[in-house]
A and B are shown apart, each in its own frame.
Chain A
Amino acid sequence: MGQIIELDSVTKDYGQGEVIVHALCGVDLVLEAGEFTAMAGPSGSGKSTLLNIVGGLDNPTSGSVNLEGEDMTRLSRTKLSRLRRDRVGFVFQSYNLIPILTAMENAEYILMLQGISATERKSRVNQVLNEVGLEGLGDRFPRELSGGQQQRVAIARAIAAEPALVLADEPTANVDSQTAGALLDLMVKLNEEKGITFLFSTHDQRVMDRARRLVVLTDGKITHDGSPEHAQRDVES
């Protein structure tokens, strides 16, 4: 399997002068294609910062970030935008759907940016909406959908363009436990059946338990990287 992401000695500092917060301190991380990785850690440990850097939304203070061999820190804003459009899918904690577009149009949006024909877009999006369990709901606007359904639309949007990597920032944090379980099942299914690589941050123990790999961040450093079963032992040691 190929390497999707490689972070080498990544640091991220916030603030200026004497008040500097070290959000990430020399993080090394490699993600292989097809991995289903959860990232955990207390609030302020650097999970979101790491996700933003992996997704090219933020630049590291030092270190390099390679997505499929391309150093993202050296890309212009436009190239970075194109890279995100084509190779990275995002799922946000608060869905962040476009409120004025229907579920289908939201899922179609990135394909439209890619210049894919309307016919092909419809066909692909219909298939994706079926895969995420939203058949028949494509014409609804986000406000007409439940939280769980909105997050499914967000997942559909993230995978419609068949990206190399889907980054999910606490995707189950805003939904009830039953919906969270269903969303997790969906992501596992997409990972297993379609081979989509997932990296998500979470506080939810059930989500961590379902991941095949768990990365634990503490104070900007990786304190565990391996199977979820051994995480507690590593953190304690």
Chain B
Amino acid sequence: MLLRLAWRSIWRNLRRTLITASSISLGVAFAIFMVCLAEGVYSKMTDDVVKMHSGHLTIEHSDYRDAPSVDLFINEASSLRKNVDQIPGVSQTKLLIRGQGVARTGTGASGVAVMGVEPSSEVQNSPIARSMVEGDYLEDSDDAKVIVGKNMAKRLKLDIGKKLVITTNNAAGDLVEVLCRVKGTFQTGTEEADGHLVQVPISFAQKLYGLPEDSATQMGILLEDPDEQQAVLKRLGAAKMEGSATVRPWEEVMPEVASYIKVDRGSNYVFQILLLTIILFTIFNTILMSVLERSHEFAVLQAIGTPPADLQRQVVLESTLIALLGCIGGVILGGLGSYAGNVYGIDFRGFYEDGLSVSGFSIELILRPKISAYIFARFGCFVLVTTILLSLIPIRRIPRIAISDAIREAK
């Protein structure tokens, strides 16, 4: 009977119920869509960054983070890799050698970041391999071949097949110069990569920096599920590792990206709180009106013997039903919107013709919201639970209604 009373009661004022439920729906849908969109951007950004650089987890020399230098390398990388590949949750490992240098051509010179990569491994995942605009990506058998960013190629007037000299200090501290040929150019949309990054095969980088054959400055670990990062990190911690090697999450290796996401997520929370406050105010207003305008009815019901607690329960149930309707509508709307965005993509290229980057990492401009049951449930449950809590405020009036006065006033 209580449920029947509550259900019929909310349809008594059809317009108000519909307005309240649709306000909740729109608010929840909008909040869900915005959060899914933001999480989609973070997810894509993280995915690109870890694939382009050193994975979700990075094994490197324990001192490397303090002073990145090629002489702080990990030795016997292949046996370490063999162990790591067996750890559950690890999808792929990749070896990297990272160093600095100067690239020179007849036209000029430019400071460059040299990245020695395993081409066969990179070509499967790296955004750079997908961003080739001229020539071809590297192959494992390539020697003294490089790919450069489009901006650098333009600056140094480099075409496919043209020569450039890389000058750098090797691990022993000696100055070395090596002649290379350009195999391809790429364009990621960020000046840091397009203007200053040179990728070379890892075997060539080992020779360039005078490192042993089976060595790397970093081993990148890509995970099957990025959300399993902590679990895999624990498993790696338990695995036997060379004394000088340490494993770090990508947030430590690329703190600027992690900070950006943290700050942006924080500002999103503020936005969500504002939006939810508006929704909750609407709900509170509806509950309050519903209690105030029904003083006479509640007085009559108490007069004929209804305990005030039953009436309070009825109002809470009514509020919950309206919130439930709104939340279900909101989750469906927000879910459908996010799904459509995920499938078709939301094209922001028109707004950022020169591309968009954060701390040197490009952001994909076709945004795809992340579909997450957790986000849907989080908003739905939050609005529901808060509605129940909010309804506890106006219902305190019910036992205080002066029964005889309320009945007399309505005569």
Query: CB within 8 Å of B: which residues of A?
Result: 48-49, 52, 55, 57-58, 77-78, 81-82, 84-86, 88-90, 92-94, 96, 98-101, 105, 108-110, 112-113, 157-158
CB distance from A121 to the nearest CB of B (A): 10
Are B297 and A109 within 8 A (Cβ)?
Answer: no
CB distance from B307 to the nearest CB of A (A): 5
Are A57 and B403 within 8 A (Cβ)?
Answer: yes
Q: Which residues of B contact A77 (CB under 8 A)?
A: 308, 399
Q: Report the number of A-B residue pairs with Cβ-Cβ less than 8 Å.
A: 64
Are B410 and A81 within 8 A (Cβ)?
Answer: no
CA distance A77 to B308 in the complex (A): 9
Query: CB within 8 Å of A: which residues of B?
Result: 1, 4-5, 8-9, 12, 297, 300-308, 310, 399, 403-404, 407-408, 410-411
Are A57 and B303 within 8 A (Cβ)?
Answer: yes
CB distance from B407 to the nearest CB of A (A): 7
Are A110 and B410 within 8 A (Cβ)?
Answer: no
CB distance from A34 to the nearest CB of B (A): 22
Are B1 and A81 within 8 A (Cβ)?
Answer: no
Tell me the dominant secondary structure on chain A's binding face: helix
Given contacts A57-B403, A58-B404, A94-B411, contact A81 B302 (CB under 8 A): yes
Which of B5, B302, B304, B403 is within 8 Å of A157, CB to CB? B304
CA distance A84 to B306 in the complex (A): 9
Q: Which residues of B contact A110 (CB under 8 A)?
A: 304-305
CB distance from B7 to the nearest CB of A (A): 9
Q: Which 3 A-B pairs have the closest CB atoms?
A: A85-B305, A100-B8, A52-B404
Tell me the dominant secondary structure on chain B's binding face: helix
Are A94 and B306 within 8 A (Cβ)?
Answer: no
Are B9 and A100 within 8 A (Cβ)?
Answer: yes
CA distance A96 to B301 in the complex (A): 9
CA distance A84 to B302 in the complex (A): 9
Q: Which residues of A contact B306 (CB under 8 A)?
A: 81, 85, 113
Are B302 and A101 within 8 A (Cβ)?
Answer: no
Q: Which residues of A contact B304 (CB under 8 A)?
A: 84-85, 89-90, 109-110, 157-158
Which residue among A94, A100, A101, A105 has the maximum number of chain B CB atoms within 10 Å of its CB? A100
Q: Which residues of B contact A157 (CB under 8 A)?
A: 304
Which of A57, A86, A105, A109 is within 8 Å of B404, CB to CB? A57
Q: List 16 A-B contacts (CB under 8 A).
A: A58-B403, A77-B399, A81-B302, A81-B308, A82-B305, A85-B305, A89-B304, A94-B410, A96-B407, A98-B5, A100-B5, A100-B12, A110-B304, A110-B305, A113-B305, A157-B304
Q: Which chain B residue shows the least CB distance to A86?
A: B305
Q: Which residues of B contact A93 (CB under 8 A)?
A: 411
CB distance from B349 to the nearest CB of A (A): 55
Given contacts A77-B399, A101-B5, A101-B8, contact A92 B305 (CB under 8 A): no
Q: Which chain A residue shows the least CB distance to B7?
A: A100
Q: Which residues of B contact A92 (CB under 8 A)?
A: 300, 407
CB distance from B12 to the nearest CB of A (A): 6
**Additional pairs, 19, CB under 8 Å, beyond known A52-B404, A55-B303, A57-B404:** A49-B404, A58-B404, A77-B308, A81-B306, A82-B307, A85-B305, A86-B305, A88-B305, A93-B411, A98-B5, A98-B301, A100-B9, A100-B12, A101-B8, A108-B1, A109-B304, A110-B305, A113-B307, A158-B304
Q: Which residues of A contact B12 (CB under 8 A)?
A: 99-100
CB distance from A233 to the nearest CB of B (A): 32
CA distance A89 to B399 in the complex (A): 20
CA distance A155 to B4 in the complex (A): 23
Are A98 and B297 within 8 A (Cβ)?
Answer: yes
Which of B8, B307, B308, B408 is within 8 Å of A48, CB to CB? B408
Q: Which chain B residue shows the least CB distance to A55?
A: B303
CB distance from B51 to the nearest CB of A (A): 60
CA distance A52 to B403 in the complex (A): 9
Q: Which residues of B contact A96 (CB under 8 A)?
A: 300, 407
Q: Which chain B residue shows the least CB distance to A89?
A: B304
Q: Which residues of A contact B4 (CB under 8 A)?
A: 105
CA distance A93 to B296 in the complex (A): 14
CB distance from B293 to the nearest CB of A (A): 13
Q: Which residues of B contact A58 (CB under 8 A)?
A: 403-404
